[in-house]
A and B are shown apart, each in its own frame.
Chain A
Amino acid sequence: MLFVPVTLCMVVVVATIKSVSFYTQNDGQRLIYTPFPEDTDTVAQRALNSILNATIMITVIIVMTLVLVLLYKYRCYKVIQGWLFLSSLLLLFFFSYIYLKEVFKTYNVAMDYFTLAVIIWNFGVVGMMCIHWKGPLRLQQAYLIMISALMALVFIKYLPEWTAWLILAVISVYDLLAVLCPKGPLRILVETAQERNEPIFPALIYSSTMVWLVNMADTDRPKRNSTEAASPQQETQQAVASPAPSSPSQDDGGFTPSWVSQQEHQLGPLQTTEETRREIQQLPSARPPVEDDDEERGVKLGLGDFIFYSMLVGKASAAASGDWNTTLACFVAILIGLCLTLLLLAIFKKALPALPISIFFGLVFYFATDNLVRPFMDKLALHQFYI
């Protein structure tokens, strides 16, 4: 059930890349996180530059993750929430403004400021409401998909070629380490949240069901007498396992340095909730059985995963010489990776990083298809030899 949103996100990104040339143009602008240019004279220089860029980016991400974990540990919730709120504000208004402008330019449509203001205002405000407050589930999911796509587009535009591929590779390794190692920051985060019986993160988590929000609303009610205490308790525990999808931490695309990495590290490895939910459900059977088992089995995926998957497919469609072959191959590879990750999740029942397997397959397929399959197909087509 996660396939539909991931597919949708990727479709949006690929469609935009193919139609709106803005996102594939190289204006020479770069994020401040990737200061080394890639249009250098020698290949060695280029490789060095891209490695340096990737290193800087990853360092920023690691630092931001640590800052986040520290903030969470010392209960500076307000800071985290404010940060997320501002970044989602930026994403919903500013980036969608740019996106709309480019789309209108591409299709040569006249648009006046008044209508544009109404559109952006509506889109942004309803988005903020859906993500941070209460809104219909489908709309919230749609908004999360849209902002993931916007972020992925920003990355595709502003990260130079080799840097992007390197970053993808390194961030999957980092994801693996951060979530699985005992001292990994994300693991610490998950465990701290579990200890405190709180929702993991007011961050970007895409959830396929929304039962949790309702349960959490229940826990806000004042404590009743002891006989009823059991059910709020149960609900609280269930609510723990499902972080409400709140504002996606936004990234301002490097125009101001503050939040890019925060978003990235937040987004990357968050596939924890399934695990905590299962663990809690395996607690002593004194608890009454859960009412709606179907609804609570919603799977959650961090928005960072969406973003990096879409970024991979988008870059493949933007850069590859094999065009649709490569794009489709990467798409299939990512879905297979996602399948495997979900399978592993069901087996291990603990927090798992969602990036490594998919990104690894994606990268392998991309380079293999681009360099091996495409020339092969071209030659076959040239000689009109059908297999």
Chain B
Amino acid sequence: MNLERLPNEEKLSLCRKYYLGGFAFLPFLWLVNVVWFFREAFVKPAYTEQLQIKTYVKRSALGLLLWVAVLTTWITIFQHFRAEWGEVGDYLSFTIPLGIP
């Protein structure tokens, strides 16, 4: 999908759909949104829809940062305390490493 060839309204619509889609627990979608539309929003010379695209990209970036923070915290906690939690830790684990914890 080449963004160059799309008219501006469609770019806006696509950006918006990616932004809204990200609310379904899809931080990856927000990442794609940011990376893909970054140029459109900040580098290109201004056009009518650019302001809205900028807002969407900024909000996607914000949401992404939030998700990264939450995930990092949770992963750190889990990896650190997994062995100590005993049964609960095992229950939460998808794969359990073998050997000395």
Whether chains A and B associate is yes
Cβ-defined contact, A121 with B25, below 8 A: yes
Known contacts A104-B95, A110-B82, A113-B94; A135/B25 CB under 8 A: no
Cβ-defined contact, B28 with A116, below 8 A: no
1/0 contact string of B63-101 vs chain A (CB within 8 Å): 000000001001100110010000000001111111100
Cβ-defined contact, A115 with B71, below 8 A: yes
A137 to B35, CA, bound (A): 13
Cβ-defined contact, A111 with B26, below 8 A: no
Q: Closest approach, in angstroms, between the C-beta of B98 and any C-beta of chain A?
A: 6
B48 within 8 A of A: no
Q: Closest approach, in angstroms, between the C-beta of B15 and any C-beta of chain A?
A: 11
Task: Please report which residues of chain A, range 94-130, place their CB below 8 angstroms from some CB of chain B when the two chains form the complex.
Answer: 101, 104-105, 108-116, 118, 121-123, 125-126, 129
Q: Closest approach, in angstroms, between the C-beta of B45 and any C-beta of chain A?
A: 21
For chains A and B in complex, what number of residue pairs have CB atoms within 8 angstroms? 83
Cβ-defined contact, A101 with B26, below 8 A: no
Q: Closest approach, in angstroms, between the C-beta of A116 and any C-beta of chain B?
A: 5
A15 within 8 A of B: no
A342 within 8 A of B: no
Cβ-defined contact, A122 with B26, below 8 A: yes
A210 within 8 A of B: yes
* Chain A interface main SS type: helix
A140 within 8 A of B: yes
Task: Please report which residues of chain A, range 73-102, place their CB below 8 angstroms from some CB of chain B when the two chains form the complex.
Answer: 101
Cβ-defined contact, A136 with B36, below 8 A: yes
Cβ-defined contact, A123 with B2, below 8 A: no
Cβ-defined contact, B75 with A118, below 8 A: no
Q: Closest approach, in angstroms, between the C-beta of B59 and any C-beta of chain A?
A: 18
Contacts of B94 in A (CB 8 A): 101, 104, 111-113, 116
A113 to B78, CA, bound (A): 11
A139 to B32, CA, bound (A): 9
Q: Closest approach, in angstroms, between the C-beta of B65 and any C-beta of chain A?
A: 16
A129 to B33, CA, bound (A): 12
A18 within 8 A of B: no
The 9 closest A-B pairs by CB, nearest first: A122-B28, A214-B5, A108-B97, A104-B95, A111-B94, A112-B92, A134-B1, A116-B94, A136-B36
Can you sample 28 A-B contacts with CB below 8 Å? A101-B94, A101-B95, A104-B95, A108-B98, A110-B79, A110-B93, A110-B96, A110-B97, A112-B92, A112-B93, A112-B94, A114-B92, A115-B78, A118-B71, A121-B26, A125-B26, A126-B28, A126-B29, A129-B21, A135-B32, A136-B1, A136-B35, A213-B1, A213-B2, A214-B1, A214-B5, A215-B5, A295-B2
- Interface residues in chain B, defined as those with a beta carbon under 8 Å from any beta carbon in chain A: 1-2, 5-6, 10, 14, 21, 24-29, 32, 35-36, 71, 74-75, 78-79, 82, 92-99
